[in-house]
Structure 1
Amino acid sequence: MTDFTTFTRRRALGLALAAAMLPAGAGAAWAETDFSGKTIEWIIPFSAGGGSDTWARFNAPLLGKYLPGNPTVVVVNEPGGGSTKGANLFAARAKPDGLTLLGTSGSTQFPYLLGDPRVKYEYKDWKVAMASPTGGVVYGAPGLGIAAPADIAKLKDQKLTYASQGATSLDLVPLLGFRLLGLEVQHVFGFKGRGDGRLAFERGETNIDYQTSSAFITNVTPLVEAGQAVPLFSWGVLDEAGNIVRDPNFPDLPSFPEAYEMMTGQKPSGADYDAYVAFFTAGFPAQKMAFLPKDTPDDIVATYQAAFEAMKSDADYQANKEAVLGNYEQVTGALAQALFEKGTTISPENRKNVVDMLAADYGVRLGE
């Protein structure tokens, strides 16, 4: 296979050695750092029930099991501002003692990339402990007259409603994607997390939604089985050449470029598609990351990275990982750093294209 997931897994195998080379002295750090009797707060800047919350709650007890001293790791939800509130709190208050961890998502990265004035954090100040690529699935209500992905063209000219965390959150990807598909979508801004968006869909307040893979597998699959939701397409994954291909977790679903071709009869191209691909790349291959605060000593960073690596061999992790996270490999070391850099960088041209569109079409004006 040549998809991004296989690439990630293969690189991660090679980087098992990097776990031994995680900043220099990782072995010593393991011996010297001790969290006995401590409680570690893992801040998730979203409401409960979404993909980031599901991801953190799966990882937290396993992380505590493999950190020296077996501390209790608790997930603390700090939603608001499209995730900027919780990230700002972390940047302002977290001490570099290893007792506070931040989990971010594309919804935290996008405001940073776009120059959102609410952002008071600087990604480059933080130390990445683990990165977790993911994907996502778009689904609709059966009341739209759809029963399968092949029915996607039936959405054209229908009035669709989507619950959004905000135009600069990870929901920018569906905003750009729906526009490219030519769908008439009302984006209702202000939801505090994708979990809240799913609940709005379940209540019938919206009729199209997307969830990241972990939340889709855990929370939306029962809706599909009950006939209350119809999967339409996945965002896809990157292959080694940088092309978007089908997500191996959802092999029966078309990728976004395939959905575009089904809707328009043409392959996607042009400046708008380039901007979409840029934000998809920033938001999903490096979609979820765990960070330690500015000035955290290298020995503590190394200890966290070693613990994240060690827990992946745990029997409980192996037994439950695919059901909760899908077939994505969580990584540390050099690959996590590479994904971190990719997920927090965008070209000035693509940034300007999206900032201008948000101002003209949605009244969203961002600081330069």
Structure 2
Amino acid sequence: MSPHTRTRQPLSTAPPAPPVATAPQAADEESQARDLPSRRTALGLMGGFGALAVASALFGTDLLSPSAATTDGDFAGETLKVLIPLAEGGGTDTWARFIGTELSRTIPGKPGFAPNNEAGGEGISGTNHFVSSAKADGTEILVSTATTVVPWVLGRKAVRYDFDRLVPVVANGTGAVIYARTAAGVRGVEDLLDRPKRLKFGGITATGLDVTTLLAFDLLEMDVEAVFGFEGRGPVNLALQRGEVDIDYQTTSAYGPAVEGLVKDGKAVPLMSLGQVDASGKVVRDPNFPKLPTVVEVYEKLHGKAPEGPKLESYRTLLGLTYTYQKGLWVPKDTPKAASSLLRQSADRLGKDATFQKAAAKVLGGYPLVADADLPQRVRTAYRVDDAVREHVLSLLTDTYHAKID
């Protein structure tokens, strides 16, 4: 029985006579009678709603929820629904809410901003949900980070999304520095090879952000013992101070408070930055650490030649995906170009605003908000993962670090 169906009482053969109404009561009932629709009108309305429901079932819910008007250069009256596939309070959540708030104020028409966290499965669940249900009209936006990109690179079974089916609106990167404990006998990069005892690396998981550092060790041909299971880079740093691990990396935002004091006291030495990938696909120095050589430069110093082959391609590819383009906002591929371009152009204007840059310095970690006209093509190139690269990464993780990839 429908929740709107009324149960009718059986009619008796001899209904009691109704009471005689007083004048006010009669007038009130007369008023109600005038307000009630006729049986024919009611049936017509019910039929109309029924037809609308059938049409909605056959052709989708757009009849009940009209599509957004986002192709006229004005998002007035719309709301940006931003899906954050990770829990509230983390770095990605903070980034997404800050950028989303500022972007909604910059887009013509000043649309509303509605962030929605869908945590689960290391970001996979929420991202899967977005690609299967998001409207391609420019109002529904996905947040990506290295946490969701690496499972895609590894081809994990749970991943049902493909970044080739999404269009980037904005990207923002970060960097990292590899440093070592001086008490472990490391004073410079020359002490990384031909060691009497392997250096011990502290990691969180081989199939997360750590993978890029593991690929750096692989490229440099370092013999490293890895211990995984730490809850974050902070605990790893503390373990290094206690002498439990010998080599670590810290991202740009954490490097200052976590490492600079140790360097000043002579307890640690910065060795190299992971670097950045430029527009031509070359690994270049990190602008936040211009005095530190990149992993590629360190290879040249240690081996007397430039690196090449699968190890270099794998490192360069993952460096771009997990650091240079670490975080981003995306819309479905079928989004009208007028809508996606307006979002990107608004983000580009926002990123160039001096007031925003000052306010965003801490959140962006000293790296620009990138949304120029060439961004879609650069990201498309960066996200092109060759089979040889994928196979090399999988082999390194499973054979050397005994990682289980489901």
Give the TM-score normalised by the residue count of structure 1: 0.72
Alignment match, 1:110: 150
Of 321, 325, 349, which aligns to 1:310? Answer: 349
**Offset at 1:128?**
1.8
Does the Cα contact within 8 Å between 1:283 and 1:343 map onto a contact in 2? no
1:31 is paired with a residue of what secondary structure?
A: coil
Q: Equivalents in 1 of 2:371, 2:347: separation in Å? A: 7
Alignment match, 1:31: 74
**Offset at 1:341?**
1.0
Across the two proteins, how many residue pairs are aligned to each other?
327
Of 193, 211, 221, which aligns to 1:172? Answer: 211
Does the Cα contact within 8 Å between 1:162 and 1:206 map onto a contact in 2? yes
1:126 aligns to 2:188 (yes or no): no
Q: Equivalents in 2 of 1:141, 1:39: separation in Å? A: 46
2:202 is paired with a residue of what secondary structure?
A: strand
**Offset at 1:197?**
2.1
Alignment match, 1:325: 364
If you compute each CA radius of gyration, which structure gives the higher value, 1 or 2? 2
Of 176, 183, 203, which aligns to 1:163? Answer: 203
Q: Equivalents in 1 of 2:384, 2:304: separation in Å? A: 32
Deviating more after overlay: 90-99 vs 111-120: 90-99
Alignment match, 1:258: 297
What are the residue-to-residue correspondences of 1:168-247 with 2, within 5 Å?
169-181=208-220, 182-188=222-228, 196-204=231-239, 208-212=247-251, 216=252, 218-227=253-262, 230-239=269-278, 242-247=281-286
Deviations 1:124-173 (A, max 9, x none): 222321123443322345654557x5575389534423223442x34321
Does the Cα contact within 8 Å between 1:249 and 1:326 map onto a contact in 2? no
What are the residue-to-residue correspondences of 1:332-343 with 2, within 5 Å?
332=371, 334-343=373-382
Q: Equivalents in 1 of 2:194, 2:120: separation in Å? A: 32
Q: Equivalents in 1 of 2:171, 2:97: separation in Å? A: 15
Alignment match, 2:327: 288
Q: Equivalents in 2 of 1:138, 1:298: separation in Å? A: 41
Deviations 1:245-287 (A, max 9, x none): 3222211111112233455555433432333233334444433
The change in CA–CA distance for 1:165 and 1:78 in structure 2 (over 3 A counts) is farther
Unaligned runs of 5+ in 1: 1-25
2:157 is paired with a residue of what secondary structure?
A: coil
- Provide the aligned C-alpha RMSD in A: 3.6
What letter is aligned with 2:234? Answer: L
Does the Cα contact within 8 Å between 1:237 and 1:245 map onto a contact in 2? yes
Deviating more after overlay: 250-259 vs 234-243: 234-243
Does the Cα contact within 8 Å between 2:199 and 2:247 map onto a contact in 1? no
Alignment match, 1:69: 110
What letter is aligned with 1:277? Answer: R
The change in CA–CA distance for 1:335 and 1:106 in structure 2 (over 3 A counts) is farther
The change in CA–CA distance for 1:100 and 1:285 in structure 2 (over 3 A counts) is same
Q: Equivalents in 2 of 1:165, 1:47: separation in Å? A: 21
Does the Cα contact within 8 Å between 1:177 and 1:276 map onto a contact in 2? yes
Alignment match, 1:78: 119
Same amino acid, percent of matched pairs:
29
2:343 is paired with a residue of what secondary structure?
A: helix
The change in CA–CA distance for 1:304 and 1:211 in structure 2 (over 3 A counts) is farther
**Offset at 1:43?**
0.6
Give the TM-score normalised by the residue count of structure 2: 0.66
Q: Equivalents in 1 of 2:183, 2:114: separation in Å? A: 42
